[in-house]
Structure 1
């Protein structure tokens, strides 16, 4: 079981980043999204990402051209029929992911591995909806995928050792450092990280300190490269809220209750960097 070609569903921030990493590592990539406009936007972001790496002398113009040449785009699920692996990289919404994965299951071969790039949703549950749950697995890339070394590889209850072995080999070829975890809400990193971010919103809401002082405290006191509130803006406040809501529903424990301030900011559409305003206000690019 060797992964040679990869289909990626979703050309947004995570999807185009994963496509960049995969194509840069030599895999043939098919990038799928709902329409050509979304695909064009994703490829433009990918190209700019490669340009930044060229400026940093982390890659070359020739390598950029080779990476882009390995990526094909489509709006048709049937074009994924022959790939070795499909990675669903849609928004962190269980219903949307279930709908996408059901379509994938109908068109790929019985040898294809199907994966979800989810940060919180149960891989065991998603795999149970697949006709071949032994070939279903979680592959959690971190944002931004081209720069973050970690890869969480999540085993569902029915994921086979052979599937895990193939994905770990792929991760190594991509230059990532994979860790293997069991299916549980939030897995390892986000299970620890998101409650910390949520607590920072409680501290801010209670007027204990300013956003700047909260972030400075965590950077200098805990040696974090970025403060929790600035990180929330980077992740997207809507994503943070969605993950906390999953934890609260799954664990049925009030310690995962989302901060009222986080809920309020999302309701106002202040989602962080992507909207120009979250905890902080950002200048238009």
Structure 2
């Protein structure tokens, strides 16, 4: 027996969208039937699509079942990966304390099985959570440790993640030259690895740093690049973030009409996703200067 095959990513995403509710029911049925391997493997196989399409509530619900199943099986590796990814889901909901807590739990499991690659990736997630919680002094050590691990393993994908996070840390602390250098490194590693979602994040963060450093034209250019890429790969939550940030950059450049257009498009995507950020975007639209 072989699995489903699709001609391209778009076909896979369309199938998942059509079968999403059936897949959610299958996860719950596996749990009720005591099929513990299926109960953690099926949610984890869907993680990328949960993340890509912004279905964070489904993601968290499915991972609650998955972690319980992995605990029943005593599967340390599964628990490590699931806790790491559950932290990412909470990060997407801007629950940064929960994101940091799950990252710390995942670290214990990765250390127990001696998985340095996993440890490095979780340290990056922990760093992001600490940055977003404005705990900048605490974020530097895990991120620098993560970069050292990635370099020692020759892991270009992880080096891209680490450079992106370090760039974000420096940008938040207004050390823009250091931030730009890390973002350029992140883009290089992401492109070499063909990691388009990571490239989208790096472009987005680079654009925000340009705006914060007083260069709205560079910000607009990089936001447009990120937006084009995110639309192409179907990263809906990223698309909304790029549109919202593009609106801010356009407003800073004095183009109120285009800023309004970008924010309206962001609002449309967020409403489709059922994201609470939609209310914030409405407030930004209301605050725009009238024509």
TM-score, normalized by length of structure 1?
0.35
Q: Which has the higher contact order (CA 8 A, sep 6+)?
A: 1
Instruction: Identify, as 1 or 2, the structure richer in helix.
Output: 2
User: More strand by proportion, 1 or 2?
Assistant: 1
TM-score by length of 2: 0.34
